[in-house]
Amino acid sequence: MKTKMTKSIYVIFMMLFLTGSMFAQNQNVGINNNGSSPAASAMLDVSSTTKGFLPPRMNLDQIYSIQSPAEGLIVYNTIGKFPVYYDGTSWRKMDNTLVDFGFVIGQLRFGGVIFYIDGTGQHGLISATSDQSYQAQWGCYGTSLPGAYGTAIGTGNQNTLDIMAGCATTGIAARICGDLVLNGYSDWFLPSKDELNQMYLQKTAIGSLANDNYWSSSGFNAFNAWFQGFVNGFQDWGNKDGSAYVRAVRAF
């Protein structure tokens, strides 16, 4: 009898708990020590005269490693000793200036070597530390691959995806990069014409680049694609069935 009564009390308690939780989900919530009601316009109203609000505390690497941060996300930076928020594109201080994560050209980060940093200082391109091939074809000579003609910085990844989707040939430059899993990362791609030029400009910082021709992912027409010579930086288009070096990159 006692066991049955104990079970009944437990069931009633859980029902009340769950009912209260469901009710709370449809209400604005107040946290305070004076029993005051939360402001009608606030989903969460925290009030105290003796305690503060403590957000997550992280160093710069931990902040940058947050996966797909939501716009408006707030974190306390333990290195700079100030709170930061994500504006949907970049991390900013509360005075709206950009957070400096300390990225520099030639730095070993995110699976390779940083060779390009954009204007925010928070995004850029990484080169693998060694070549993926020295005699790969661009592939599908005589076939036009719509979408694989981007030349600007930021187009290499889409070029690579379009080449892989439209050219089933194994061992081509784009597929070597697109299928690459290296240092824990699987989002490598063949650089576009302009991305490849940035690699040439920073070849000393990257190191281990051959004084030879490297393929870009930028097609020129059905028969040719852009490459770059790493002796003098000369860019030209060559036959897709020709061979050249391949160096994978990824974005951060």
pLDDT of residue 26: 54
Give me the residue spans of the domains in the chain: 1-49, 54-101, 125-251
- CA nearest neighbour of 83 among 75, 91, 92: 75
**Running along the chain, 252 residues long, what does each successive block of 10 average in pLDDT?**
43 39 57 83 84 91 93 95 95 95 96 97 98 98 96 98 98 98 98 98 97 98 98 97 98 97
Beta strands 29-31 and 44-46: pairing type? parallel
Residue pair 91/103 in contact (Cβ under 8 Å)? The answer is no
Q: Name the residue with tokens 């899993």.
A: 181
| Four-point Cα dihedral 211, 220, 201, 198, nearest 10 | -130
Contact status, residue 101 vs residue 172, Cβ threshold 8 Å: no
Nearest to 246 by CA among 127, 128, 114, 136: 136
125: tokens are: 């391109």
How high is the pLDDT of residue 43?
83
